[in-house]
Structure 1
Amino acid sequence: MVNQVENLLPKGLFEVLQKERFLTISTVDYETGGPNITSVSWVFAPDPKHVLFAIDSRSRTVKNIENNPLVVLNLLAIESAYAISGNASIKIEKLNEVPLKLTLVEVNINEVRDVMFYGSKISVDPKFEKTYDKEAAAKLDRQVMEAIRKA
């Protein structure tokens, strides 16, 4: 299968990004100029052309984006692997509605590419669980996702 390339999120990916989801973010390291990767779960697509994510304000990712806005979000979903490339910017320096110091980043999508290797598919979506107090985690997740949706 030829890798499909779009300039916005296809319907299925847009639907996947309507709730918390594990994905990785690749940025250009502000010190080394090399790649830097981190994982997040507080993500939301307000429309097919943008993805928002919340990340610790002290994160290297924030500094990287301030220095170079080019990012790639890597998402495993709908039986495939996707690279969502775009320009990131700080939308809100500190989300006031949450108890942690989180920065809201907006990615303006330039390209969505199916990057799964030929003749294969993802058979099980990645799963994760919070390893601290389950009730506290659920409350924090609700607060963060609500703040992202309101932004």
Structure 2
Amino acid sequence: MANQVEPRLIQPLYDELQKERFVTLATIDYETGGPNVSAISWVLAKDESTIYFSVDNRSRILENIAANNKVVINLIANESTYSIAGEAIIKEERLQDVPLKLALIEVSINEVRDVMFYGSKIVSEIQYDKTYDKRAAERLDKQVMDAMKKA
């Protein structure tokens, strides 16, 4: 049986992308032309067809997107694994109301593909812990997510 493909986020995925969470981002490396995968957490579904994410404005991700705007976001949610393919633009080089120099990237979704291997499901969500000052991390995370929601 073929995996399901959608032109936009289904409701459970949209709901999962309303808060900070772990995802991986694949870009095309601007120097090597090969794949480049990064883990990010400041990600937000603006609507069913658009995802925002923020990264340090010195990140290699930005150089990669400038050279080739095709991206894939890998999301583990809804008991499965999803490949969200789209085209990225640098919406803001400096995200407002955030103390760090972060860029805001907008991804226009082309397809959402369930890529979980046949006959299986995810039984536990990925968890991570911030290893620096917990209060500072919570404050920064709130500032970034609020700024993305306003954008």
Q: With structure 1 as the length reference, what TM-score do the two structures score?
A: 0.98
CA deviations over 1:17-65 (Å, ceiling 9, x no partner): 0111110000000000000010111110110000000001111101000
CA shift for structure 1 position 2: 2.7
State the alpha-carbon separation in 2 of the partners of residues 21 and 96 from structure 1: 21
State the alpha-carbon separation in 1 of the partners of residues 126 and 56 from structure 2: 22
State the alpha-carbon separation in 1 of the partners of residues 15 and 121 from structure 2: 19
State the alpha-carbon separation in 2 of the partners of residues 111 and 43 from structure 1: 17
Structure 2 residue runs of 5 or longer lacking an equivalent are: none
CA shift for structure 1 position 6: 0.3
Letter in 2 for 1:44: L
**1:1-151 residue pairs with structure 2 within 5 A?**
1-151=1-151
Give RMSD over aligned pairs: 0.7
CA deviations over 1:82-117 (Å, ceiling 9, x no partner): 000000000110113111110000000000000000
The ranges of structure 1 where at least 4 consecutive aligned residues each deviate by more than 3 angstroms after the TM superposition are: none
Count residues in correspondence: 151
Letter in 2 for 1:67: A
Structure 1 residue runs of 5 or longer lacking an equivalent are: none
State the alpha-carbon separation in 2 of the partners of residues 37 and 94 from structure 1: 23
1:20 alignment partner, SS class? coil
2:14 alignment partner, SS class? helix
State the alpha-carbon separation in 2 of the partners of residues 46 and 56 from structure 1: 20
Q: With structure 2 as the length reference, what TM-score do the two structures score?
A: 0.98
